[in-house]
Amino acid sequence: MRRETAEAAARSRRSSGVMGKRPRLIVTTLGCALAAYLFARLFAHTGAAATWNALASGGPLTALAIAPFAIGMTIDAYGSVLLLRALGTATTLAQMLPVRIASEALHSSVPAGFVASDTATAVLLEARDVPLRDGVVASIARKWLVMRAHAIYIAVGAIGGFAALTESSHRLLGGGSLPWIVLASAVIPLGASCALGAGLLGRSTFTRLHRGLASVPSRRVRRWADARRHEAVTTDAQVARLRAARSSTGAATLAFFGSWCVEALESALLLRLVGADVPFAAVIAVEAGLSLVRSLAVVAPSGLGVVDFGYATVLPVVGADSASAAAFVVLKRAKELVWVAVGYAILGTLRGRSPLMAATTASSATLAG
C-alpha cells in the first residue's frame, strides 16, 4: 500500500513539476524582487554602522534570539500531539517536535510555504509510523485550530495594545482608525477557520470526494478510487472522532494560542537585545497587526520584505529608533535562517527512509527552486 502511494506521489510530482515549474519560478522571482525593493527602502535611511552598533549592543546575550522559537515550536508541537492522540495515535512530543521544526522550515523558506509544510507534516509523521490518513486529518485540523487561535491572538493584541495602536494611527494615518482595523481583521482568520472546519472537516467529506473521483470517466481513476473506498470511509470516521473530542481540540487551540503569544515575547526580547525600549503592550499590538500581513503575503517566503517594511514603519512610532528597528529586522531574519537550516537538516536525516519521504522532499526542493 505504501509503495503504491509512493509511486503515485512520484508520478504526481513529475507531472506537477513539468506543469508548475514556470509559474513557481515567476512567483518566486516576483517575491524576491519585492523583498529586495522593500529591504532597500528599509535600509535607505539607516546607516550600516548604526545598525551594526544596535546589533552589537546585546553582546553575547544576542545568542538568546534563537531560544523563543524553540519554546514556541514545543508548545505548537504539543498541540499537534493532542490532536493525534485524539485520533488514537500514541505520538509523543519527542516524535512530533522534529516534524514541526522541519515543516516550519518549509513554511518559512518558500512562497506559499503552507502547502509544502502541510504535505510534509503528514509524510514525516507517516515515516514515524503514524498512518498517513491520521497525519492528513491532524494536519488539516491543526490549520483549522491555528487560524482560530490566530483570530483570538489578533483580538487580544488589538485590545491590549489599543492605546499604542491609537497613537500610531494618529501619527501614521492622521486618525484613530488603526486599532479598529486591527481588531476587525481578526474576522479573516476566524472566517477561514470556520470555512475550513465546515469544508474539509465536515461530515462525509472524504467519502464525497471519493464519489466524485469514482464518477470521473477514466477507467484508471475509477480503479484507483475503488481501491481506496474503505480508506475514505475510515478517514471520515477519524474526522468525526476528532470533532467529538472537544476537550482535546480546545486544549490544542489553547496550545496554538500560546505559540502565537511566544512570537510577541520573542519580538519583545529581540527589541531589548538591540537596545530598543518598547512597552510590551505596544509590541503585542504591532505583532497582532503584522501577523496577519505575514500570513497573507504568500508571494514572498514568510512575508519577506513586506513584514520587515511594516516593522520599520511602525516600531519607530512606538519607541524604537530607526537603527534599532533595522537591527531588529536583521536579527529576526537571522534567527529564522538558523532555524530553517536546522529544519532542512532534519529533513535531510529523514530523506530516503521511505519512497514517499524521498518523493515529498524532492518535491519540496523543486518548489523552493
Write the DSSP symbol of residue 216.
Answer: S
pLDDT value for 18:
40
Q: Closest Cα partner for 238 from 261, 205, 280, 281?
A: 205
Following CA atoms 118, 123, 129, 135 in sequence, which dihedral angle do they give, to the nearest 10 degrees? 30
Name residues whose C-beta falls within 8 Å of residue 239's C-beta, 6 or more positions apart in sequence: 137, 201, 202, 205, 206
Q: What pLDDT score does 279 carry?
A: 92
Q: Which residue is it, cell 481588531?
A: 183
d(CA 238, CA 242): 6
Residue type at 369? G
pLDDT of residue 251: 97
Distance in angstroms (rounded) separating the CA atoms of residues 125 and 139: 10
CA–CA separation, 308 and 220 (whole Å): 49
**Alpha helix segments (H runs only) across the chain:** 2-43, 48-56, 67-86, 93-109, 113-126, 132-160, 162-172, 178-185, 187-199, 205-214, 219-226, 229-244, 246-273, 280-296, 306-314, 322-350, 355-368
Distance (Å, whole) CA 232 – CA 239: 11
Distance, in Å, from the CA atom of 363 to the CA atom of 116, rounded to the nearest integer, reads 8
Residue 362: the pLDDT is 47
The enclosing H or E element of 48 equals helix 48-56
Helix (H, G, I), strand (E, B) or coil at 89: coil
Give the model's pLDDT for residue 36: 67
**117 near 104, Cβ under 8 Å?**
yes
Rounded to whole angstroms, the Cα distance separating 129 from 146 reads 24
Q: How far apart are CA 333 and CA 15, in angstroms?
A: 34
- Position 284 scores a pLDDT of 93
pTM: 0.81
Q: Cell numbers at residue 182, please? A: 486591527
Q: What type of residue sits at position 3? A: R
- Least Cα distance to 256 among 289, 286, 283, 291 occurs for 291
Residue 22, class by beta-carbon neighbours within 10 Å (0-12 exposed, 13-18 middle, 19+ buried)? exposed
Indicate the Cα dihedral angle 344, 354, 140, 21, nearest 10°: 60
pLDDT at 230: 59
- Using CA atoms, how far apart are residues 46 and 129, in angstroms rounded to an integer? 51
Contact between residue 351 and residue 361 where contact means Cβ atoms under 8 Å apart: yes
Nearest to 304 by CA among 320, 315, 293: 293
Q: Between the CA of residue 175 and those of 72, 178, 240, what are the distances in Å?
A: 35, 8, 48
Return per-residue pLDDT of the chain as tens, 369 residues.
444 444 444 444 444 444 456 666 666 666 667 666 666 666 666 777 788 888 888 889 999 999 999 999 999 999 999 999 999 988 899 999 999 999 999 888 876 667 778 788 888 888 888 888 888 889 889 999 999 999 999 999 999 999 999 988 888 888 889 999 999 999 999 999 998 888 777 666 666 665 666 566 666 766 655 656 656 677 778 888 888 899 999 999 999 999 999 999 999 999 999 999 899 999 999 999 898 888 876 666 677 777 888 888 889 889 888 889 889 988 998 999 999 999 999 888 866 554 444 444 444 444 444
